[in-house]
Amino acid sequence: MDTEQQVVYEFGDFRLEPHRRLLSRTSGEPIAVTGKAFDALVYLVEHAGGLVTRAALSEFLWPAIVVEENNLTQAISVLRRALGEGFIATVARRGYQFTAPVQRLTADAGVHTNAIDHSPASLENEGAAAATPDRPSASRSGARHTAILATVVVGVALLAVIVWLTQRSARPTASDPLDRYMVSKLTEFEGAEEHAAISRDGRFIAFLRERDGLWDAWVGLIGSDDFHNLTGGTIAELRNPSVRTLGFTPDGSQVTIWSRTRDPSGRGMVDAGWTVPTFGGALQPYLRNIAELDWSPDGKRIAYHTAEAGDPMFVANADEKERGVKLHVGAAGLHSHFPLWSRDARFIYFVHGYVPDEMDVWRIPANGGEPERLTSHNSRVSFPTWLDDRTLLYLATAADGSGPWLHAFDIERRHSARLDTHGREYASIAASTDGRRVVGTEVRSTASLWRSSLREDGSFDATGATRIDIQTPRGLSPRTGGELIVYRAPRAGRDSIYKLAGGVTTELWSGVEGRVIAGPSLAPDGRRVAFPVQRRGRTGLYVMNVDGSSVQRLAEELDVRGAPSWSPDGNWIAIAAMSSGTPRLFKIPATGGAPVALSESYALDPVWAPSGSFLVFSAADVGTNVSVEAVNADGTPHELPPLVLSRGSRRVDFLSERQLVVLKGDLSHKELWTIDLQSGAQRRLADFGRGPLVQDFDISDDAREIVFDRVREESDIVLMQRPEAP
C-alpha cells in the first residue's frame, strides 16, 4: 500500500494506525492490546456511529471458525480497559457501537481526508449518520437497514425461544463462575513465584520462589502473610513449567514436591517425588520416578505418571511402593501431564499432546478404558483443577498465541468458555475442595536481544554483551546475516517477523496474517527469510524477501512444526512436519517443489552443518530429556556421540563443521556450550550467571558473532476468593 493511501484514525486523545498495527495516545505513548482486540477496534472505528452486530464482528475476527462465546466479550473488555469510558457502547442483545467522534487522516502528513461525524444517538436513527466515502447515506440505505432490522428481530426472538426450551431441560450455569470472586495479591516479592498450590481445606498455599536465579518451595497460611522456605536450597532443580510441581497430601500435613535429579546410572536426569511437613522439617522421598500425582477424593488411591517414553499413567493404592495398574501410555513424543481425579472418582482427567504447545484436556476411566478428548485448543494447556462437581478450571493459550488464559469446562454440557481475567495472564491455577478459594500465578515477562563478538575458540564474555536497540517492546529468536538481524516479536498479541537494519526496525510479516510460531531462518545470501506461520489450525512454511515482498508458501500439503533451516548452498529448506501423527524431517526446494522425507523418526528444529552434508535435529522428549540426533542430506543415518539435553534446549547451531553449540543446563538456567561431534568433548562458551533465561540464539556464518535473546519472567501469587453467603 502506498504511504499516501495509508489511513490513520484519531478519537479523543488516541491515534489508531492500522497499517502499523499501532494504538497510541496522540502524545506518542503506545498502548498495548491483544491482537483480536486491536482488530476489533479497527472494525468498530471504521463503522463508527453505526451498529456492529456481535455476529458481524465475530465473523470479521474469526472468519470460518467457530470460537468460544466469551472470546468477543474478552476482546471488548480489553479495549474498554485501554480506552476508558465513552468510546464503546453495548447495544443490548445486538452488538456494539463506537460512539466517539473519529477523524480520518492520511498517515504521512496527518492531513484530514474526512471526518466520521456522528452522535451517540438512538440506534433507531442509526441510518441518519453522516455519509462518508466508505458508507452510504441514510437515503440510500434506510430501507435496507429497516429490512435487516426486521430480520434481526425475528432471529433474536427465535433464538430466545430455542434458549428457553434448552434451559428447561438443562440446569443453568453462570457465564463466568468466578464473576463474584474478589482478587488480591498474596505475594509481592521481587523476582518470580510460580506453581501455586492450595490445600484441600483452603488454609495453606505452597509455591516456588526464585531468588538470585535459584528456586525453592515455600509455604504459608493464607491471610497470615507469613511464608517460610521448605527446601532451603537442598534441591538443585525444582521448576518444570509443564507439570504440577507442588501439591498437598489430602490432610494438608505434607507438601509434595517434584524434582529432577541425576540418574545413579549416569545416563541422564530422572524425576523424583518428595514430601516435607507443611510446618517445616526434613525432606522424605516418596516414590522414585514419579513425575506428578494426585490423590483420589477419599485419599486412598493415587493417580500418577512416570517420566518414561509416552508418560505411562497408573492408579495405585496410596501406600503402595510398587507400580499399580497401568491406565494409558502415549506414542513416542506424546505426553500426559497434570493427572486429576474426578470428584466422583470415576475418571482421571489429564492434559495430553505434544509439549508444550499442542495439548488438550482428556480423561480416562479410573478402572481402565479408552481415553476421551474433551477440548480442542491444540495449544499450551495446563493446570486443570475443580471449582465444583461440574466445573473444571484450566489454563490455555489462544489461537493467536496470547495467554495463557483462564478457562472453565462444564463437564455436563461439554462446553468450554474463556473467562474474563481483565487482561491478567496466569501461569498456574489451583482451587480448594469447596471452590471458595482459587490461587494462581499472575505472570509478566520481558524479552530482549543481545549480541557479542566471539573469540577464536567461540567463547565470549556474557557480561560484556551489548543489548540490541530494537523498536518493539520484546524480541525473540534473533538470526544474524551481515548487517541485518531478523527476529520475531509479539505485537498486539501475535508473533510477527521484524528486521533490524541500519538502526531501523521494520515489520516484514504481520501476525494478523498468521502467527509466527518459531524462529526464522535467513538464506545464506541474506536476501530471503523462511519462517513457519500458523493459520486456522495448520502451520505452513513461508519464504519472503528481506524487504517483506514476494511472500510464497512452500509445500502447502505439509503441516509443519518448529523452526526451519536453510541449507548452506541456498537450495533447500529443512523443516519438521507432521506425518502419521508424528513430526518428521523433510527438506523442501527453496524455489518450490515436492518435499523430500529425510527421516522416519521423531524430529524437530533441524540445523544444517556448514558443509551441507548432514543435519542435526532434536528427537522426542522422554521425561524432561531431549536427545540430539543427525541424518545425512540424502536421508541416510549419520552417527553422533550420545548427546542428551534438558527440555527447552532444542535450538542448536554450528560453530564449525565439528563444533556444535547447544544450550546446556537445567530447566530454569542454561549456558552455551560447544560439543565436539567427533570426540564428544564439551566446553562452556560463556557464564551468564543466574538471571534471565537464554532461549534462542544464532551464530554468524563467519563464527565471529553471536546474537541471543534473554527472557525474564516476573510473577506474583494471587488469591481469588468467593464471598461468604449472606
176 found inside a domain: no
Dump the DSSP string for 510-541.
-GGG-EE-S--EE-TTSSEEEEEEEETTEEEE
426 found inside a domain: yes
Compute how many other C-beta atoms are within 10 angstroms of the C-beta atom of residue 80. 15
Q: Are residues 297 and 410 in the same domain?
A: yes
Q: Are residues 209 and 321 in the same domain?
A: yes
566 found inside a domain: yes
pLDDT at 492: 57
707 found inside a domain: no
CATH number of the domain enclosing 8: 1.10.10.10
Domain boundary among 105, 135, 165: 135
Q: Are residues 558 and 678 in the same domain?
A: yes
Reported as a pLDDT band with limits 50, 70 and 90, residue 205 is very high
C-alpha cell at 625: 530429556
Tally of domains within the chain: 3
Average pLDDT over residues 148-160: 41
Q: Which residue has better confidence, 551 or 153?
A: 551
- Give the span between the Cα atoms of 573 and 586, in whole angstroms: 8
Q: 161 pLDDT exceeds 70?
A: no
108 found inside a domain: yes
Average pLDDT over residues 143-159: 41
Q: 645 pLDDT exceeds 80?
A: yes
Q: Are residues 196 and 103 in the same domain?
A: no
Among 247, 272, 252, 353, smallest CA distance to 310 is for 353
Residue-wise pLDDT tens digits, 78-127: 898 889 888 999 887 788 999 999 998 875 544 444 454 443 333 433 33
Average pLDDT over residues 541-554: 95
Q: Are residues 268 and 417 in the same domain?
A: yes
141 found inside a domain: no
CATH number of the domain enclosing 422: 2.120.10.30
Residue-wise pLDDT tens digits, 560-606: 999 999 999 999 999 999 998 889 999 999 999 999 999 889 999 99
Q: Are residues 243 and 101 in the same domain?
A: no
Compute how many other C-beta atoms are within 10 angstroms of the C-beta atom of residue 614. 19
Q: 690 pLDDT exceeds 80?
A: no
Asked if 485 and 468 count as a contact pair (C-beta separation under 8 A), the reply is yes
Q: Are residues 391 and 254 in the same domain?
A: yes
Q: 528: number of CA atoms within 13 Å, CB side?
A: 20
Average pLDDT over residues 463-468: 92
Residues 6+ apart with CB under 8 A from 498: 470, 472, 475, 486, 487, 488, 489, 505, 506, 507, 508
Q: Write the secondary structure of 440-478 as one string of H (helix), E (strand) and C (coil).
A: EEEEEEEEEEEEEECCCCCCCCHHHCEECCCCCCCCEEE
pLDDT at 65: 55
DSSP 125: G
Q: Are residues 393 and 532 in the same domain?
A: no
188 found inside a domain: yes
Residue-wise pLDDT tens digits, 297-348: 999 999 999 888 888 999 999 877 567 889 999 887 889 999 999 999 999 9
Q: Are residues 303 and 431 in the same domain?
A: yes
702 found inside a domain: no
Domain boundary among 102, 135, 168: 135
Q: Are residues 388 and 527 in the same domain?
A: no
Mean confidence (pLDDT) of the chain: 84
Dump the DSSP string for 612-661.
SSEEEEEEEEETTEEEEEEEETTS-B------EEETT---EEEEETTEEE
Domain boundary among 78, 110, 135: 135
Q: Are residues 266 and 190 in the same domain?
A: yes
Q: Are residues 283 and 385 in the same domain?
A: yes
Question: Where in the sequence is the domain holding 679, given as residue range(s)?
Answer: 512-692
Q: Quick one: which H or E segment has residue 715?
A: strand 705-721
- Give the span between the Cα atoms of 377 and 407, in whole angstroms: 11
Q: Which residue bears the cell 498486539?
A: 492
Q: Quick one: which H or E segment has residue 328?
A: strand 325-328
